Amino acid sequence: MSRPLLEVRGLSVVYDVGREGFWGQRRTRLQAVDDISFSVERGQTFGLVGESGSGKTTTGRAILGQVPISKGRIIFDGQDVTRMDGRQLRSMRQNMQLIPQNPYGSLNPRMNVRDLIAEPLVVHRRVRNARQATERTVELLELTGMSAADLHKYPHAFSGGQRQRIVIARALALNPHLIIADEPVSALDVSIQAQVVNLLQDLQERLRLTYIFISHDLAVVRHISHRIGIMYAGKLVERADRDPIYQNPIHPYTEALLSSVPIPDPTVERARRGEVLPGEPPDPISPPAGCRFHTRCPLSQARCVEDEPPMENRAPAHQVACWVR
Ligand SMILES: Nc1ncnc2c1ncn2[C@@H]1O[C@H](COP(=O)(O)OP(=O)(O)OP(=O)(O)O)[C@@H](O)[C@H]1O
Ligand code: SF4
Ligand SMILES: [Mg+2]
């Protein structure tokens, strides 16, 4: 296989969340992401799935350099991004774009569609004048199923699905290779979700894009993902190609996530918030020793409480962190 477009090696992110002690002498640390590794092949989609608070957004932002990395390496197109600085880093970052988790918050309500989409083109000097900016904006709108008639409208004039198309057009403006789509359809009606996922899939084929598709819902990532990583409390607990995840899940947490697919109606709201299992995920400031899932795992044994299970091969290209399975 050719070299992956992105390799994440042993990534950890720790947030400083305050100070303890009379003089504030002890820092309180929250380890949001703990030693995770995965790679994403060119033109493919890596689905990153887990409950709310498991560290998905932090992983995406760390790859994009938007939060500091405590440990690990990000290798993009064979180059170690974590060792770059200045101009080289800025130009590399233009190749990676984010579709942020909150599509409404990310569109300035006082800017019209033309200005919203043209902004990155102007900031990065990809266009020389207003005419070029408009031409490229129309191209991007058409690519995402909108039209030149939308140029002078403001975000409030659009439905949720249309706004997400504008966000996608903006993310495409600089011709990135990698797009990190953070819960790109979670805020949309179920009927609209498939349209946006189809659009992303279509764009992937046409523009040979590589995606990291973040979701708390395994059902949502199923059709678009080539490979999937399951996160729990900052750790990757299972990593495999798409079909084995759905047909032969191994980790008890993956099984639990799958048992909530499809989501029954009365719990849709709960599931939308990313709560799919009974019980609470552990406190990220003081996670349990051993396997982090042991406080909720039906198969937990004495060893699980003491020792942390390493990621190990269970089948070709299928890794799992569990002592029992
Ligand atoms: N800027 C920050 N400062 C401190 N803690 C943070 C920060 N951002 C996230 N966290 C904490 O890090 C952990 C992981 O958060 P993150 O947003 O990455 O999770 P997530 O999987 O994206 O969750 P969701 O599904 O709710 O979006 C959580 O405990 C969260 O409270
Ligand atoms: S290591 Fe133990 S607690 Fe953790 S998932 Fe496996 S069986 Fe459950
Ligand atoms: Mg998130």
Tens digit of each residue's pLDDT (9 = 90 or more) over 212-261: 999 999 999 999 999 999 999 999 999 999 999 999 999 999 999 998 65
CA of 260 to the centre of ligand 3 (A): 19
Helix axes 113-123, 130-143, angle to 10 degrees: 110
Nearest CA to 164 out of 152, 148, 180, 181 is that of 181
In a domain? residue 146: no
Task: Kindly report, residue by residue over 110-158, the tens digit of the pLDDT.
Answer: 999 999 999 999 999 999 999 999 999 999 999 999 999 999 999 999 9
User: How much is the pLDDT for 61?
Assistant: 96
User: How much is the pLDDT for 112?
Assistant: 97
In a domain? residue 69: yes
Residue 48: pLDDT above 60?
yes
Written in H, E and C, the secondary structure of the chain is CCCCCEEEEEEEEEEEEEEECCCCCEEEEEEEEEEEEEEECCCCEEEEECCCCCCHHHHHHHHCCCCCCCEEEEEECCEEHHHCCHHHHHHHHCCEEEECCCCCCCCCCCCCHHHHHHHHHHHCCCCCCHHHHHHHHHHHHHHCCCCHHHCCCCHHHCCHHHHHHHHHHHHHCCCCCEEEEECCCCCCCHHHHHHHHHHHHHHHHHHCCEEEEEECCHHHHCCCCCEEEEEECCEEEEEEEHHHHHHCCCCHHHHHHHHCCCCCHHHHHHHHCCCCCCCCCCCCCCCCCCCCCCCCCCCCCHHHHHCCCCCEEEECCEEECCCCC
166 pLDDT band, cuts 50/70/90, is very high
Q: How many domains does the chain have?
A: 1
232 within ligand 2 shell (Cβ under 6 A): no
Lowest mean pLDDT among 31-35, 71-75, 106-110: 106-110
Residue 271: pLDDT above 70?
no
In a domain? residue 306: yes
Pick the residue whose CA is nearest to atom 9 on ligand 1: 58
Lowest mean pLDDT among 45-54, 84-93, 112-121, 135-144: 84-93
Instruction: Please give the C-alpha separations between residue 185 and each of 55, 167, 213, 248, in angstroms, as whole numbers.
Output: 18, 12, 10, 26
CATH label of the domain that carries residue 242: 3.40.50.300
With a pLDDT cut of 70, the percent of the chain lying above it is 93
CA of 30 to the centre of ligand 1 (A): 9
Mean pLDDT of 194-214: 97
Nearest-ligand number for the alpha carbon of 289:
2
Q: Which domain holds residue 48?
A: 6-95+176-320
Cis peptide before 252 (omega within 30 of 0): no
In a domain? residue 47: yes
In a domain? residue 259: yes
In a domain? residue 152: no
**Nearest atom of ligand 2 to the alpha carbon of 324:** 7
CA of 297 to the centre of ligand 2 (A): 6
With a pLDDT cut of 90, the percent of the chain lying above it is 81
Nearest-ligand number for the alpha carbon of 216:
1
Instruction: Please give the C-alpha separations between residue 123 and each of 88, 89, 112, 178, in angstroms, as whole numbers.
Output: 17, 16, 16, 19
Average confidence score pLDDT of the chain:
91
Residue 72: pLDDT above 90?
yes
Distance CA 204, CA 43 (A): 7
Distance CA 34, CA 292 (A): 11
Distance CA 189, CA 81 (A): 37
CA of 63 to the centre of ligand 3 (A): 14
Which residues have CB atoms below 5 A from the ion given as ligand 3? 56-57
Mean pLDDT of 15-37: 85
**Nearest atom of ligand 1 to the alpha carbon of 67:** 1
Pick the residue whose CA is nearest to atom 7 on ligand 1: 15
Nearest-ligand number for the alpha carbon of 296:
2
Distance CA 261, CA 10 (A): 30
256 within ligand 2 shell (Cβ under 6 A): no
Could you tell me the sign of the dihedral formed by the alpha carbons of 117, 123, 127, 130, in that order? positive
In a domain? residue 106: no
CA of 325 to the centre of ligand 2 (A): 8
282 within ligand 2 shell (Cβ under 6 A): no
276 pLDDT band, cuts 50/70/90, is low
Nearest-ligand number for the alpha carbon of 297:
2
Per-residue buried b or exposed e for 301-325, using 16+ beta carbons within 10 Å of the residue's own CB: eeebeeebbebeebeeebbbbbbee
Residue 3: pLDDT above 80?
yes
Pick the residue whose CA is nearest to atom 25 on ligand 1: 52
CA of 59 to the centre of ligand 1 (A): 10
User: How much is the pLDDT for 270?
Assistant: 47
Nearest-ligand number for the alpha carbon of 274:
1
Contact 281, 232 (CB under 8 A): yes
Report the amino acid identity of residue 139: E
**Nearest atom of ligand 1 to the alpha carbon of 214:** 22
In a domain? residue 155: no
CA of 55 to the centre of ligand 3 (A): 7
User: How much is the pLDDT for 267?
Assistant: 45
User: How much is the pLDDT for 89?
Assistant: 85
